Amino acid sequence: MKRIAIIGSGHLGQQIAYHIHHDSNDKVIAFFDEFQHVNTIIDDIPVIGGNNDVITKYQQNEFDAILIAIGYKHMNAKKELFQKLDRKVPFHTFIHSSCYKDPSATIGQGSVIYPGCVIDQNVSIEENVLMNISCTVAHDSVIGKHSFLSPSVAIAGFVKIREQCIIGINSTIIDNITIAAQTHIGGGGVVIKNIDIPGLYVGNPVRYIR
């Protein structure tokens, strides 16, 4: 059994803890949260410090590995925390047992793959990515670091999504597309050509909003 700590005790952190507890032998034994008092108990899991306490608590053998549960509204913080902890604290990688992952696919450290996802041949899911329920990533595609895929995203083959992207619920990205870093695709968006300028894109096909 691995003892997991999660940065972020909100709904996302609680969801991840739930899936780990119900789908693995590992145990979430602590939260870190800047906005909760130490020793606050959330779903039977204590908050043991803030973000600046993670390295010290690891060195004190309080936990074995860390996950970052920061939602899509705080992508810069998600990236900065990962970079701060990288090579100082081990990251956990969680892939729900209901997912299909081809043996040739790779999933980077700190990533969380929710139930029902399909990860096809030669796919690369990079570090600190969250894939919500029932996402499909087809062959030879790359999901960049620190990105967030909402439920039921469908990504075709040979797609490259750069880092810190947010792909909204039920979005579709056709094959051979590249999406610039820090791009947000709104829910139900259909991407049919490359996106070179970061921003918010919505619609079918998507158009730049801001």
H helical segments located in the chain: 11-23, 54-59, 75-85
Question: Is 116 annotated as ligand-binding?
Answer: no
184 a catalytic residue: no
User: How many Cα atoms within 13 Å fall on the side-chain side of residue 92?
Assistant: 26
Among positive and negative, which fits the CA dihedral 7, 124, 159, 101? negative
Q: Sign of torsion, CA 7 13 14 19?
A: negative
Catalytic residue (choose from 92, 96, 139, 146): 139
Q: Which of 178, 176, 188, 169 is nearest to 139 (CA)?
A: 176
169 marked ligand binding residue: yes
Q: Are 85 and 32 in contact (CB under 8 A)?
A: no
| Concatenated DSSP letters of 104-128 | T-EE-TT-EE-TT-EE-TT-EE-TT
Query: Side chain identity at 44, as an amino acid letter?
Result: D
**How many Å separate Cα 175 from the centre of its chain?**
22
The answer to whether 187 is a known ligand-binding residue is yes
What distance lies between CA 94 and its chain's CA centroid? 10
Active site residue ranges:
139
Binding residues for acetyl-CoA, by number, are: 169, 187
Binding residues for substrate, by number, are: 71
Binding residues, by number, are: 71, 169, 187
